[in-house]
């Protein structure tokens, strides 16, 4: 039945515009043109120039024929160029595809081909891997080299197109495109996944706008915040912070590498207020030589995810002036969509109790409409007892569009109207969730997801290996590293170092197992390996 409110009150240009984070930059450049947007080494870029440079790059891409729905791939470190592509690519209608800079050539080739890349902007530091990837891939993106203007890199140039030269040649008055629909894709990020090929997680303008603002609303980030880039921007578009910081007219401080001295210097020199990273980044910060430590008057907010922050780290962080907030999410939900929203009463508890509470992943972001732990069979919520295991599920506006060109995986992920995270967890009486088994085959090393199955596949290809099982082994520095249980063919003689060499030839170095156990691998009657048993044993191997 229609009501009086349903007629003659339609959408029009005046009262409806697609949500897009591009407007955050446009506003910051208009209102605070002289405010420093980006600091990188001794260079700084104000908002007026940041916006101009993005429009220039967008015009160059548009001139090259890049338009709505075209993929622009980037292989970039946390440099100003990486921030610029977050705006320039959608400004010409393109879709940003950020490559994990540590990937091996084979995976890069797969992604470029799958995403049908039209352009590849690559830091010269990664030219060797990229060159190999391009030889493997059946796609020929237009190449642009980025030569880091601050930390000069050794790698060769792959093209005649220099990023800075192109930007300079662009049109500062370029009429950038609003999305036609806020549901239009803004970026694609590939997950390593546990089985099969990587999946391309597609984000849209609406979700990017809402999560970027969600970071502000959910964590109370203030106008002119100063954000230090210790989280890789290729990871879920840097949890949408490339867009969030424009929304608060803040300052990005870029760091090419996560080094403790540089972090401490930045905190002090640039009055940093916020940074993000896996717990390993906190360990790095705390592990610095005493002489590099600085003191600073501001409170520094550290947002951590990927693994619960350990108690000792929390108390040390507090001592040196940080407030640590625990976030949780997945690539499929734009990075963080869950926050351990701290209750002030909890400050009265002991440090151990506080750490226990802080280890919980928490509650939904404002921009996520529903979060629950469900029985994946019955789709009913598990009891809020902090004990009953179920699957963590999401529903709302910061859940991906789906997986690119992968109808089945998309359908599986959205079965029964919820996004199935694959993470197992519990929910407490107060509605806070806690993960218990982060989808059991994934190894999280230094904040990066490593698929155990990918390593197993490499091992299986070795002619002397009969069976291989890879599980996570706790590691004091990286959180976890891969540990391989290997069964050799009869009579074979293979050493640890042989397998390290083999894996290094086929895998990114961070994926190479740190430990090998040679033994006959037990299987169940149905031929399955009991990974949890091996995981328990690997835990004991840690020294």
Span 347-366, contacts to a copy of itself by CB under 8 A: 363-364, 366
User: Minimum Å distance from CB 67 to a copy of itself?
Assistant: 8
What whole-number distance in Å separates Cα of residue 23 and Cα of residue 388?
A: 44
Q: b/e map of 149-185 (b: 16 or more CB within 10 Å)?
A: eeeeeebeebeebbbeebbeebeeebebbbbeebebb
Binders of a copy of itself among residues 3 to 22 (CB under 8 A) are 3-6, 8-17, 19
Buried/exposed 354-365: b ≥16 CB within 10 Å, e otherwise: bbebbbbbbbbb
Binding mask 466-505 for a copy of itself (x = CB under 8 A): ----------------------------------------
Taking the least distance from each CB to a copy of itself, the nearer of 197 and 341 is: 341
Rounded least distance, CB 244 to a copy of itself, Å: 10
Pick the piece of the chain touching a copy of itself (CB under 8 A) from 121-129, 157-165, 304-312, 336-344: 336-344
| Candidate list 47, 126, 419, 516; residue touching a copy of itself; CB under 8 A | 419
Q: Which stretch binds a copy of itself (CB under 8 A): 144-152, 182-190, 375-383, 471-479?
A: 182-190
- Candidates 152, 220, 350, 525: give the one binding a copy of itself (CB under 8 A): 220
If the CB atoms of residues 157 and 366 are measured against a copy of itself, the closer one turns out to be 366
Q: Is 325 in the site for a copy of itself (CB under 8 A)?
A: no
Please work out the total of residues on this chain that contact a copy of itself, with binding judged by CB under 8 A.
Answer: 72
Please say which residue, 344 or 377, places its beta carbon nearer to a copy of itself.
344
What DSSP character marks residue 189? E
> Of these, 394, 478, 485, 502, which contacts a copy of itself (CB under 8 A)?
394
Asked if 384 and 343 count as a contact pair (C-beta separation under 8 A), the reply is no
Least Å distance, CB 20 to a copy of itself, is 9
Q: Which of 274, 358, 360, 401 binds a copy of itself (CB under 8 A)?
A: 401
> For residue 43, how many other CB atoms are within 10 A of its CB?
11
Residue 129: closest CA among 163, 103, 99: 103
Q: Confirm if 472 and 482 have CB atoms less than 8 A apart.
A: yes
Contact window for a copy of itself (CB under 8 A) among 101-109, 212-220, 229-237, 282-290 = 212-220
Question: One symbol per residue from 511 to 530: x for binding a copy of itself (CB under 8 A), - otherwise; what is it?
Answer: --------------------
- Is 113 one of the binding residues for a copy of itself (CB under 8 A)? no
Cβ proximity to a copy of itself, 24 vs 190, nearer residue: 24
Contact between 120 and 142 under an 8 Å Cβ cutoff? The reply is yes
> Which of residues 109, 112, 247, 468 is near a copy of itself by CB under 8 A?
247
Tokens read off for 83: 């921030």
DSSP string of 442-497? EEEETTEEEEHHHHHHHHHTSTTEEEEEEEEEEETTTEEEEEEEEEEPTT----HH
Among 341, 464, 487, 496, binds a copy of itself (CB under 8 A): 341
Angle made by CA atoms 306, 308, 314, in degrees to the nearest 5 = 125
Which of the ranges 410-418, 441-449, 456-464, 466-474 carries the binding residues for a copy of itself, by CB under 8 A? 410-418
Give alpha helix (H) positions in 127-204: 127-136, 163-169
Q: What is the largest CA-CA distance in the chain?
A: 84
Shortest distance in whole angstroms from residue 522 CB to a copy of itself: 34
Q: Does 184 bind a copy of itself (CB under 8 A)?
A: yes
For residues 423-442, which are near a copy of itself according to CB under 8 A?
430-431
Among 164, 172, 173, 223, binds a copy of itself (CB under 8 A): 223
Out of 164, 175, 183, 389, name the contact with a copy of itself by CB under 8 A.
183
SS3 of the chain: helix, strand, coil, percent, to 5: 35, 25, 40
Q: Do 541 and 481 touch, CB atoms closer than 8 A?
A: no
- Return the residues of window 127-146 that contact a copy of itself according to CB under 8 A: none
Torsion of CA 365, 447, 443, 320, to 10 degrees: -90
Considering only 116, 162, 197, 437, the residue that binds a copy of itself (CB under 8 A) is 116
Instruction: Select from 87, 174, 243, 418 the one that contacts a copy of itself (CB under 8 A).
Output: 418
Can you tell me which of 89, 216, 285, 503 binds a copy of itself, judged by CB under 8 A?
216
The answer to whether 163 and 147 are in contact (CB under 8 A) is yes
- Least separation in angstroms between residue 242's CB and a copy of itself is 16
Cα(186)–Cα(178) distance, rounded to whole angstroms?
A: 11
Whole-number Cα distances in Å, 214 to 302, 306, 367, 447: 16, 19, 6, 22
Residue 60: enclosing H or E segment and its boundaries?
helix 47-63
For residues 382 and 470, which CB has a smaller minimum distance to a copy of itself in the complex? 382
**Residue 8: exposure state from Cβ atoms within 10 A (0-12, 13-18, ≥19):** exposed
Minimum distance from CB of 48 to a copy of itself (Å)? 11
How many CB atoms neighbour CB 112 within 10 A?
Answer: 25
384 part of the interface to a copy of itself, by CB under 8 A: no
Pick between residue 294 and residue 366 the one whose CB is nearest to a copy of itself.
Answer: 366
């Amino acid at each position: 039945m229609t009501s009086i409110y349903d007629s003659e009150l339609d959408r029009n240009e005046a009262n409806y515009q697609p949500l897009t984070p591009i407007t955050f930059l446009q506003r910051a450049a208009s209102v605070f043109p002289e405010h420093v947007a980006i600091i990188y080494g001794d260079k700084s870029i104000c908002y007026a120039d940041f916006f101009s440079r993005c429009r220039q790059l967008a015009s160059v891409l548009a001139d090259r024929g890049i338009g709505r729905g075209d993929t622009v791939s980037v292989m970039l470190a946390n440099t100003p160029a990486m921030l610029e592509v977050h705006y320039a690519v959608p400004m010409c209608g393109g879709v940003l595809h950020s490559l994990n800079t540590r990937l091996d050539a084979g995976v890069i080739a797969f992604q470029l081909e799958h995403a049908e890349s039209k352009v590849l902007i690559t830091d010269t530091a990664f030219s060797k891997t990229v060159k190999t990837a391009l030889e493997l891939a059946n796609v020929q993106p237009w190449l642009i080299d980025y030569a880091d203007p601050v930390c000069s890199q050794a790698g060769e140039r792959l093209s005649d197109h220099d990023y800075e030269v192109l930007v300079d040649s662009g049109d500062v008055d370029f009429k950038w495109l609003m999305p036609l629909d806020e549901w239009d894709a803004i970026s694609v990020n590939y997950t390593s996944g546990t089985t099969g090929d990587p999946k391309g997680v597609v984000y849209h303008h609406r979700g990017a706008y809402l999560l970027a603002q969600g970071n502000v609303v959910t964590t109370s980030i203030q106008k002119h915040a100063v954000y230090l880039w210790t989280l890789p921007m290729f990871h879920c578009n840097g949890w949408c912070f490339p867009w969030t910081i424009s929304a608060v007219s803040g300052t990005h401080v870029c760091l090419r590498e996560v080094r403790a001295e540089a972090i401490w210097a930045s905190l002090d020199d640039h009055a940093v207020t916020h940074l993000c990273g896996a717990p390993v980044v906190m360990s790095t910060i705390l592990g610095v030589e005493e002489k590099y430590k600085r003191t600073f008057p501001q409170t520094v907010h550290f947002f951590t995810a990927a693994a619960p922050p350990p108690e000792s780290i929390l108390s040390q962080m507090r001592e040196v002036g940080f407030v640590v907030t625990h976030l949780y999410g997945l690539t499929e939900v734009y990075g963080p969509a869950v926050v351990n929203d701290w209750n002030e009463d909890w400050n009265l508890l002991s440090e151990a109790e506080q750490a226990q509470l802080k280890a919980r992943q928490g509650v939904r972001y404002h921009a996520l409409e529903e979060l629950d732990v469900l029985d994946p069979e019955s789709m009913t919520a598990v009891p809020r007892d902090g004990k009953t295991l179920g699957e963590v599920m999401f529903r709302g506006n910061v859940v991906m569009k789906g997986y690119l060109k992968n109808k089945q995986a998309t359908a599986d992920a959205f079965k029964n109207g919820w996004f199935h995270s694959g993470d197992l967890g519990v929910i407490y009486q107060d509605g806070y969730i806690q993960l218990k088994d982060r989808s059991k085959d994934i190894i999280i090393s230094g904040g990066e997801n490593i698929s155990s199955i990918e390593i197993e596949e490499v091992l299986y290809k070795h002619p002397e290996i009969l069976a291989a099982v890879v599980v996570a082994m706790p590691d004091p520095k990286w959180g976890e590293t891969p540990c391989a249980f290997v069964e050799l063919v009869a009579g074979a003689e293979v050493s640890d170092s042989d397998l390290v060499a083999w894996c290094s030839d086929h895998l990114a170095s961070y994926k190479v197992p740190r430990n090998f156990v040679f033994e006959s691998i037990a299987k169940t009657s149905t031929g399955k390996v009991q990974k949890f048993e091996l995981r328990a044993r690997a835990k004991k191997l840690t020294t």
